[in-house]
Amino acid sequence: MSSEIRIITLPKIEDYRGNLSFIEEENHIPFKIRRVYWIYDVPGGEFRGSHAFKETCEFIVALSGSFDVVLNNGVREFKFNLNRSYFGVYVPQMIWRKLENFSTNSLALIMASTEYDESDYIRELSEFKAFLQR
C-alpha cells in the first residue's frame, strides 16, 4: 500500500448516452476494497470525519455535488475540493482527515481497505500527534 496522499484520476468512458467511470481494486487504487460506505444528506455547514485510522486506507470520490477533503500528515495540511465523479483522493493510513463544505445533495463514496473496526480509529488529535512521535 502506498503512503502518499494523492489525487487519482479514474477511467472516463465518454459517450453521448452519458459517461461511465469505474474502479478496480489494486489497479486504479492501491489496496483491496473490504468495505464501501457513503455519506449523504449532510446539512449545510456540517462536517464529517475529524479522525485518523491506524491501519485503514481510503479512497474518496464525490459521486455527486462537491465537498472538501482536508488532510494532515502531522507535517503539513492538504486540501482537495472533490467535485467530479471521475477522480478522487487516496488517503493512506495515519492521516488526520476531515470532510467539510458539502454542497446540497452531495454524495461522498468511500472505499476502505478494512472492515469497520472502532479500535482502528484515533479520534483525539492529541493521541494522533502522540502516535506520530513513536
Q: Which residues pair with 67 in a beta bridge?
A: 82
Cell of 95: 492521516
Encoded one letter per residue, x for contact with ligand TYD by CB under 6 A and - for no contact, window 29-48 reads ------x-x-x--------x
54 near ligand TYD, judged by CB under 6 A: no
Q: Of 28, 48, 51, 54, which residue is the catalytic one?
A: 51
12 binds ligand TYD (CB under 6 A): no
Query: Annotated catalytic, 28?
Result: no
| Cα–Cα nearest to 51, from 132, 134, 120, 130 | 120
The DSSP secondary structure of 12-57, one letter per residue, reads EE--TT--EE---BTTTBSS---EEEEE--PPTT--EEEEEESS--
- The residue (of 38 and 131) whose beta carbon lies closer to ligand TYD is 38
Q: How far is the CB of 35 from ligand TYD (least distance, A)?
A: 6
Residue among 29, 30, 42, 49 that touches ligand TYD (CB under 6 A): 49
| Joined grid coordinates for residue 27 | 489497479
Check if the beta carbon of residue 89 is closer than 8 Å to that of residue 29: no
Name the DSSP letter for residue 109: E
Q: Mask of contacts with ligand TYD, 99-128, x by CB under 6 A?
A: -----------------x------------
Shortest Cβ distance from residue 5 to ligand TYD (Å)? Answer: 18
Cβ–Cβ < 8 Å for 89, 6: yes
Which residues are tagged catalytic?
51
Provide the binding-site residues for ligand TYD, judged by CB under 6 A.
35, 37, 39, 48-49, 51, 116
